[in-house]
Every structure is written in structure tokens, then in C-alpha cells.
A and B are shown apart, each in its own frame.
Chain A
Amino acid sequence: MNGTDGLLRIKDLVKHFDISGGLLDQLRMEQGRIVRQRTTVKALNRVSLTLPPQETFSVVGESGCGKSTLARTILGLYPPDEGEIYYRGDRIDHLSPKDMLPYRTKMQMIFQDPYASLNPRMTVKKTLEEPVYFHNKAISSAEVKDRVATVMDQVGVDPKWANRYPHEFSGGQRQRISIARALMVDPEFIVADEPVSALDVSIQAQILNLLMDAQEKRGLTYMFITHDLGVVKHISARVAVMYLGTLCELAPTADLFRSPMHPYTRALLSAIPEVGKRKSKHIKLKGEVPTPINLPSGCVFHGRCLYARDRCKAHIPPLREVGKGHFAACFYVDAPAPSG
């Protein structure tokens, strides 16, 4: 158990999804011959990260960048095709469901859609009791009831409403209940997949405050997946920027916003509208976002990058240190902007 390993460490994680369909769907006519074509979504391409304990680590990117896949692979919902996942130094990828059980109480997840994350046919009470009963076969019903009431209080939902069904609650309240469910097993690590994106602005603030309070009280480590850079700025210690399943840049929050190094990060930051500041010009990226099905060769970003050169087309840039704790995957971070 290496102390510098951090709470969670992933190494060269690869996850591809085969969406070829059945045999008949794969067949194509090509130059007069029937050819079998497989379609693969290359969602994660050699991602490595280390998460220090009791901090909030954010992963940002646009749709198709693989952040949701990353979250689910880390939690064991998808087995990785290649690579390793370590929790406190223990290797946890490819464990059997039985061996994985003890880790399930330590690692939990909160989801984006408050309407789909709760079973519509189960009362709040049943939803919250289930994880407790599952991991503690011998626990008494009085104790469970107590715990449910306590956690509901902590997330700001009146325990008297425990016997209601999800559809009787608003989106914000449902999200609180989802957070309660994650907290019921007393976890150490929570992955939050866009937990506030589907909520109104005034509710977002409430939920973010709730999450920050819970972190303080319980010493939680968060992995926050989001596309909202405002949220990232506010709550994270470190940020990772992803594009097409690849890690582009990794830095402490303040550094990333002050001096973004990777061209994609720069474009992303310039495109995000900020309240009260009229942006004169934002960096326009060429072309459309390519899909993770047909990954470009070499650097995944080279097709839209204003700084791209021949080397970028042929070779994948490794993640290298460009500042203190600041990493970027680009050959030309120090290059001047192109003219015109």
C-alpha cells in the first residue's frame, strides 16, 4: 500500500464499446464484395489519473469526451478493456462481484438526471433503506429507520416524507434524495456525474452547498464530472480536461484558468460565456466535433487545432509536465499563435 498512490489511481485505462450489432448489421457492400465491418466507440484511450484524498477533482469536457464512461468504469459498472484501477493501493478492476462488495460501501455515485435516478415504484424509505440492509444483514429495523431519518435531515428533506414516491418531489428534492442514498453506506469516495446540470440555477447553488457541507463533515473525496466551468472554478482543487477519450490537460484549478496550456482548453475557456463580461472574440475551432468512432490519427485534437503541424497528425502527444503539477498533452504548448 503505497502512500503516494492517492485514494484512487487509474493507469492507462482503455474502454471501447463494440456497437457493430448483429452479424447481418455488420455486412456491407464494398467494391462488389460483401465485407464485414465492425464499429467501435473508443470512449477511453489510455487515461491515467491520481486522486488525492479529501479533495474535489473535476473532469470537464464536451459530449463524447468520455467523462461519463470514465466515471462508470472507475465504479466497476463497465470492466475496462485495458489498464488498472487502484483504490487505496488495492487493485479493483476485474474483481468478482463478491470481492468487490467491500469496496461498494466506500465508493458511490450521484447521477445527472434526477428523474431517472430514483426507482419510481419504490418509496423514498425503501430506496434509502436498501443499501443499508444489503450491506448489513444483521442490522435492526429501528436502527435503519434512525439512519434514514438522520441522513434525510442532513440532505434537507423532511423525514416525515419518507413514505412518498419520487414523483411527488421536485427535481431538486429528488437530487437530494439521490445524494442521501449515496451517503447511506458512509462512503469515502463519491463520483458525481453532472449532478446539478439538470437543475435550475437557484437549486444548483443549494445542491452544491449541500455537497460541500457533506464533504467537510465526512471527509469525502469527490470526482466531479461537469461541463460547467463556473462550478469547476468554485469547488475543485484540480481539474482534468478531456477530449475524445483522451486527457488533454491536468492542473490545479487556479492554474488552469489563469494559464491554460492545451489549445483545446484555451478554446473551451474562451467559448464559455461568463455573466457580466462581454467577450469580444472567442477562439473559433475549425470543423465539427468528430465522433469517438472514427478517432483521428495522432493527436485527437489535430483536426480542429489552429496550431497543428505534421507531427501532430502522426504521433500521440504524451502528457508531460509544463508547470508545477500542471500537465498537458501537446507537442507545441509554447508555440506562438498562428497569424491570420
Chain B
Amino acid sequence: MKAWRRFKRSYVLYSFKRDPVAIFSFSVLAILSLISVLAPVIAPYNTYDTATFDILDAETPPVWMGGGNEDFLLGTDIQGRDLLSTMIYGLRVSMLIGCGAVLLQAFVGILIGLFSGYVGGKMDAFLMRIADIQFSIPYLIVAIFTSAIFKLAFGVGRYEELAVPLLIIIIGISEWPKYARTVRASVLGEKNKEYVEAARVIGISRWLIMFRHVLPNTMTPVLVISTIQVAEAVMSEAALSFLGLGMPITKPSLGALIRSGFEYIFSGSWWITFFPGVLLVILILVILLLGDWLRDVLNPKLYKG
């Protein structure tokens, strides 16, 4: 309760209320999140259930165009699925993978960065070299290998079941160095501060100091890069799916949807690519805009009073 009262009086809320872009992005993101959480309730059709659609309905245009059908507001895709519903489920998958991947990156990266920065010396050099190597391997190559090998080993059916966790792991593992480097930089600054020395004088062990004293003070930059990382994870997943390496067409993400409609743009069914594309752009844009505002607000140098 006290924390809430403190928040209400804070500069963060004050700045938020004054920034129309922040308010807009936050609202849109909130709506999109709500939609993706409530997907089974909101979507007109459950497009994962093959019984709900019919291939004869394929490539129906949106309702306001000639040949449109009231049952399918934004038209249907090449398999006859309602585009609107598929987009809603796709949004859900995209956001799930985006957030999941970032949680994984952050967990691994923060732990490594914390340890590396505090302990220093040869261990630090070693871990940072591993981070460099990791960074130099393009995640695309990793993704191609992993998904190809997986499909070969376990079959396409199994792949489709495990696509989401697999993608979370691939995208998550590729980006942990970013968190590691960010946290390490903060830790290097904090570990020489007097409150850490005071903790050592009390006799507190190195591990306790790392987690209880240093870690909480490195969270601000982590928060700032997290929004960008979520946007990037969503984009990475979309790119992978677009290349056919990500979500399968049976459980498409927005990227997979864009791909599935790509060949049909010039034959006339432009909506299959267009609407998912617009939704994807909106999603990424609001995340980035919100991240921009957050970065400015949390910047101690710009903090006024």
C-alpha cells in the first residue's frame, strides 16, 4: 500500500501522464496483451482445431470487399481459416515467444554478468570471451541447424508440438551476452562502492553480497534494455517464421502468417499478408516507444528533483 502511494506521487507517474506517446503505447500494448491472453474467449474461431474450418472457404476476401463473407471479417487464408482469429492466436504466440525468450536471456545473462563482474580476474576474462564467441555466431545459423536437426530426429509432428519452447530457447540463448555485458558494467561500478565494503567488513560472504547488495542496484539498466530485447525477440521470431524455420503453418505466429500469404499477394489475396504484417508492426512499434519513454524516465541524469 505504501509503495503504491509512493508511486502515485513519483516522477515516473508524473512524466507518464504528460507524455501522450507513452500513454498511447502503453494503452495499445495493454489492449494487445489482453487480447492475446483472452484469445480463446475473444477469437471468433479456434483455428487450431482443424474441424472448424473448411478448405473450400480458402482465400475469401475481407467482409467489405466483393466476395466477402460476414463470417470472416478479415477474410480467410489459404487453408480456409478465419484470418482475424488466426491473427489473434498468432499475436498470442508471438508475444509468448518474445517474453519467454527475454526471460531466458535475462536469467542466464544476469547470472553470468553478476558473477563475472564481481569475481573479476581470469574468470571474468574467460566468461566474457565466451560471450564474444556466442555473440559472433548468428542466431540464424543456430536456428537453421537446430530446427533442421530436430525435425530430422523427432519428426515434423513432434517439432510442431515443441516449436514454441524450442524457439524460446534458440532466441533466448543467442542474446544472453547483451544482458551479461550490461549487468557486468553495472557491477563493476557498484562493487567498489563503500556499502559493498561495509558488507565485507561485517563479514558477509561474497555470494550474499552479490545477490543481496549488488544485484538489486544493477536492475535499472536491465529494465531499460528489456523492452528493446522483447521487441527484438518478437522480430527475430517473425523473421525465423517468415523463413520457414519458426512456427509451423498449423500454429502460425504473425511471421508465419505473413509468409503463408506471401506467394498470394500478386494473385490477389493481399490481405493474408497485409493484416498480420500491420499487426506485427504495431506490436513492435508500441513496445519500442514505451521502451524509449522508460529509458528517458529512468535516466538519473535527466531526473529533475
Residues of A within 8 A of B (CB): 22, 72, 75-77, 97, 100-101, 104-105, 107-109, 111-113, 116-122, 130-131, 134-135, 178, 181, 185
Does B217 lie within 8 Å of A119, measured CB to CB? yes
Nearest-Cβ distance from residue B201 to partner chain A, whole angstroms: 5
Tell me the minimal C-beta distance from A24 to chain B in angstroms.
12
Asked if A134 and B203 sit within 8 Å, CB to CB, the answer is: yes
20 contacts between A and B (CB under 8 A): A22-B125, A72-B197, A97-B205, A104-B201, A104-B202, A107-B201, A109-B197, A109-B201, A116-B193, A117-B195, A119-B213, A119-B217, A122-B216, A130-B202, A130-B204, A134-B203, A134-B204, A135-B202, A181-B198, A185-B202
Known interface pairs A119-B213, A120-B217; A101-B203 also in contact (CB < 8 Å): yes
- Contact between chains at A75 and B198 (CB < 8 Å): no
Chain B: interface size category: 10 to 19
Q: Mask for B208-235, Cβ within 8 A of A = 1, else 0? A: 0000010011000000000000000000
Is B195's CB under 8 angstroms from A118's CB?
A: yes
Contact B201 A108 (CB under 8 A): yes
| Contact of A117 with B198 in the complex, beta carbons under 8 Å | yes
Q: How far is the CA of A121 from the CA of B79 in the complex (A)?
A: 55
Flag if A121 contacts B216 (CB, 8 Å). Answer: yes
- Assess whether A113 is in contact with B194, with CB atoms less than 8 Å apart: yes
Q: Which A residue's beta carbon lies closest to that of B193?
A: A116
The verdict on B17 contacting chain A, using a C-beta distance below 8 Å, is no
Q: Are A109 and B205 also in contact (CB < 8 A) when A119-B213, A121-B216 are?
A: no
Residues of chain A lying within 8 A (CB to CB) of residue B201: 75-77, 104, 107-109
Roughly how many angstroms separate A261 CA and B217 CA in the complex, as a whole number?
A: 48
By beta carbon, the residue of chain A nearest B125 is: A22
How far in angstroms is the closest Cβ of chain A from B191? 12
List chain B positions with a Cβ less than 8 A from chain A: 125, 193-195, 197-205, 213, 216-217
Give the shortest distance, in Å, between A80 (CB) and chain B (any CB). 16
A5 to B269, CA, bound (A): 93
A177 to chain B, nearest CB (A): 11
Q: Is the CB of A116 within 8 A of B200?
A: no
The winner among B194, B200, B216 for most chain A CB atoms within 10 A is: B194
Q: Which 9 A-B pairs have the closest CB atoms?
A: A104-B203, A117-B194, A111-B194, A121-B216, A119-B195, A131-B202, A116-B193, A116-B194, A109-B201
Q: With A and B bound together, what is the CA distance between A113 and B193 in angstroms?
A: 9
- Please measure, in the bound complex, the distance between the C-alpha atom of A130 and the C-alpha atom of B193, giving whole angstroms: 18
In the complex, residue of chain B having the shortest beta-carbon distance to the beta carbon of A114: B194
Cβ-defined contact, B203 with A111, below 8 A: no
Q: Out of A107, A111, A120, which one reaches B197, CB within 8 Å?
A: A111
Rounded to whole angstroms, the CA-CA distance of A181 and B217 in the bound complex is: 20
Chain B residues whose CB sits within 8 angstroms of the CB of A122 once the complex forms: 213, 216
Instruction: Tell me the minimal C-beta distance from B157 to chain A in angstroms.
Output: 49
Q: How far is the CA of A98 from the CA of B255 in the complex (A)?
A: 56
Closest to B200 in A: A77
Q: List chain A residues, Cβ under 8 A from B125.
A: 22
CB contacts (< 8 Å) of A100 on chain B: these are 203
A135 to B205, CA, bound (A): 12
A113 vs B194: C-alpha distance in the bound complex, in angstroms? 8
Query: Which residues of chain A are within 8 angstroms of B213 by Cβ–Cβ distance?
Result: 119, 122
Additional 8 contacts, C-beta under 8 A, given A77-B201, A117-B193, A130-B204? A75-B201, A97-B203, A101-B203, A104-B202, A119-B213, A130-B199, A134-B203, A135-B202
- Whole-angstrom distance between the alpha carbons of A134 and B200 in the complex? 12
How far apart sit A75 and B202, CA to CA, in the bound complex (Å)?
Answer: 10
Query: CA separation between A45 and B195, bound complex, in Å?
Result: 28
Query: Which residues from A are CB-within-8-Å of B194?
Result: 111-113, 116-117
Are A121 and B198 touching (Cβ within 8 A)? no
B195 is contacted by which of A104, A116, A135 (Cβ under 8 Å)? A116
Q: In the complex, which residues of chain A have a beta carbon less than 8 angstroms from the beta carbon of B217?
A: 119-121
CA–CA, A165 and B199, complex, Å:
17
A111, B198: Cβ atoms under 8 Å? Answer: yes
B residues near A178, Cβ cutoff 8 Å: 198
A112 to B205, CA, bound (A): 23
In the complex the two chains form, what is the Cα distance from A178 to B198 in whole Å? 9
Q: Could you tell me the distance in whole angstroms from the C-beta of A244 to the nearest C-beta in chain B?
A: 23
From A77, A116, A119, residue with most partner B Cβ within 10 Å: A119
How many angstroms between the C-alpha atoms of A181 and B213 in the bound complex? 15
Tell me the smallest distance from the CB of A155 to a CB of chain B, in Å: 15
Whether A134 pairs with B202 at a CB distance below 8 angstroms is yes
